[in-house]
């Protein structure tokens, strides 16, 4: 995105959880915002206005253009290993504390 715009585009990663369950954490990450979907608007507003609506519209137009992402580094799905070969998350045994 920064390369397409020609300026540094600062971003903040956000994890927004959707559902009716309670979020239980053991320490929050320092470089990422974490919220439920119900808290997300308040969390973003608390950070203050970062860019104008006009700038947001321009960035959105750049992000929607396929050429913006043409030179992005690509990692084939085969490079990601979240579970041992042949297993799924459902195969993991529950751990009791």
Q: Whole-structure pTM over 0.85, yes or no?
A: no
Q: In total, how many domains does the chain have?
A: 1
What residues make up the domain containing 15? 2-70
Region of residue 73 (phi > 0: left; psi between -120 and 50: alpha; otherwise: beta): beta
Return mean pLDDT, the chain. Answer: 77
Would residue 77 count as lying in a domain?
no
pLDDT at 72: 58
Would residue 21 count as lying in a domain?
yes
For 27-73, what is each residue's pLDDT tens digit? 778 888 888 888 888 888 887 767 888 888 999 999 898 888 776 56
Whether residue 81 is predicted with pLDDT greater than 60 in this model: the reply is no
Would residue 40 count as lying in a domain?
yes
For 82-94, what is each residue's pLDDT tens digit? 566 666 656 656 6
CA distance 4 to 68: 6
Would residue 24 count as lying in a domain?
yes
Count CA atoms closer than 13 A to 22's CA, side-chain side: 2
């Amino acid at each position: 995105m920064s390369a397409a715009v020609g300026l540094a585009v600062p971003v903040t990663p956000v994890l927004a959880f959707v559902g009716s369950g309670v979020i239980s954490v053991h320490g929050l990450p320092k470089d990422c915002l974490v919220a439920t979907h119900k808290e997300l608007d308040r969390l973003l507003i608390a950070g203050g206005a970062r860019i104008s609506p006009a700038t947001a519209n321009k960035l959105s137009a750049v992000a929607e253009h396929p050429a913006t992402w043409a030179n992005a580094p690509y990692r084939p799905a085969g490079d990601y290993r979240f579970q041992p070969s042949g297993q799924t998350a459902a195969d993991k045994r529950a751990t009791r504390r």
